[in-house]
Amino acid sequence: MSYKRWLFITIFLFGVGLVLGLTTSAGIAGLLSEDIAALEELADSLALLPKSYILVVIFLKNVSVLLISFALSPVFCLVPVMALTINGWLLGLVSTTVIQEESLGYLLAALLPHGIFELPALIMGEAVALSFGTAVILAMFKKERRSLLPAHLRHNLRYLVIALALFLPAAIIETYVTPLFLS
């Protein structure tokens, strides 16, 4: 039940998505700039809401995405793989657009404060999902592996709880600290 290999796999998948996002054609990045403008308008609208509401929404969104990924991981591990590569791709694509329109410093100010917690939570949580999904898949095909499944689930749940807990400081920082860096 070593997680080292699962961590390497998740980092690799996220990295593949990130590279794809960074190297996506300028045409797609140009289309994304319209979406970024719409997101900026949404952010201005959200600024009128209480910060505590925004904090809860961010936290619950991150937690629910990870829990869904974990729950659906036994389906050939497709959801964790897609979550990692798509998140990496979006981060790379948005990063190139933000750097072109703003600056590298602006991008770092927007991502680093909460990313210090959110990225490890994503990587750890998806590593747990891949580990659990693989264990379930193997248990379906090998009867001798079925007896190991409850212990494997308990072990995975410990790491999942840690990953979920890391989303709380990430949401707090994203809600209260990141806007200070960007203003």
Q: Lowest-pLDDT range, 45-59, 100-114, 159-173?
A: 45-59
pLDDT for residue 29 is more than 70: no
Average pLDDT over all residues of the chain = 90
pLDDT at site 132: 95
What string of DSSP letters covers the chain? --SHHHHHHHHHHHHHHHHHHHTS-HHHHHHHHHHHHHHHHHHHHHTTS-HHHHHHHHHHHHHHHHHHHHHHTTTTTHHHHHHHHHHHHHHHHHHHHHHHHS-HHHHHHHHHHHHHHHHHHHHHHHHHHHHHHHHHHHHHH-HHHHTTHHHHHHHHHHHHHHHHHHHHHHHHHHHHTHHHHH-
pLDDT at site 24: 83
pLDDT for residue 25 is more than 90: no
pLDDT at site 30: 62
**How many folded domains does the chain comprise?**
1
Q: Please state the φ and ψ torsions of residue 49, each to the nearest 5 degrees.
A: -80, 155
pLDDT band per the 50, 70, 90 thresholds, residue 32 = low
pLDDT at site 166: 98
Task: Note the pTM of the prediction, 2 decimals.
Answer: 0.88
Task: Look up residue 177 and give its amino acid.
Answer: V
Better pLDDT: 166 or 152: 166
pLDDT at site 1: 52
pLDDT for residue 148 is more than 80: yes
> What is the domain extent for residue 119?
4-182
The Cβ of residue 68 has, within 10 Å, a number of other Cβ atoms equal to 13
pLDDT band per the 50, 70, 90 thresholds, residue 48 = confident
Calculate mean pLDDT across residues 90-100. Answer: 88
Classify 77 in phi/psi space as left (phi over 0), alpha (psi -120 to 50) or beta.
Answer: left
The Cα–Cα gap between 132 and 89 comes to 24
Percent of the chain with pLDDT over 90: 70
Burial 95-104 (b: 16+ CB within 10 A, else e): bbbbeeeeee
pLDDT at site 27: 62
